[in-house]
Amino acid sequence: KRFNDAQDEKKKLYCIYVAIGQKRSTVAQIVKRLTDTGAIKYTIIVSATASDAAPLQYLAPYSGCAMGEFFRDNGKHALIIYDDLSKQAVAYRQVYIIFIKDNLKFINLYILLDVSVVEASTWS
């Protein structure tokens, strides 16, 4: 809090809290505590809760990082807290499996067609 008492914008510390796969009630408790202490004024909350879709949980850390880069690029200070990245890894796995499962039939079809074209050209 003392960092943000300064009048100079370049000396202020902005906090970015990224909640990945947390329960909504947990995020609500954190917001309440930040509000009660007055820290919410300089805090950004990026929340992809456990009930949100896996792609949102996967992308949440990248969103928080982009916000931190904005402050850095403008000569300001930022602290990013990721809570927790292991749940982002689980979300990544879910997204990857869905992507592979949906696209595997197209990949197999492409390989099959490519082999057919090669075989047809060798017979001519």
CB 98 within 8 A of CB 80: no
CB atoms < 10 A from the CB of 105, how many? Answer: 9
Q: How confident is the model at residue 120 (pLDDT cuts 50, 70, 90)?
A: very low
Residue 53: the pLDDT is: 92
Structure tokens at 5: 């008492």
* d(C-alpha 67, C-alpha 73), whole Å: 10
Residue 10: the pLDDT is: 75
Residue 9: the pLDDT is: 74
* d(C-alpha 25, C-alpha 9), whole Å: 33
Mean pLDDT of the chain: 84
CB 42 within 8 A of CB 13: yes
Task: Tell me which of 103 and 12 has the higher pLDDT.
Answer: 12
* d(C-alpha 6, C-alpha 69), whole Å: 22
First vs last Cα of the chain: how many Å apart? Answer: 78
Strands (E), 58-105: 77-83
Options 3.40.630.10, 3.40.50.720, 3.30.230.30, 3.40.50.300; CATH of 2-95: 3.40.50.300
Q: How confident is the model at residue 59 (pLDDT cuts 50, 70, 90)?
A: very high
Structural domain boundaries in the chain: 2-95
Is the overall model pTM greater than 0.85, yes or no? no
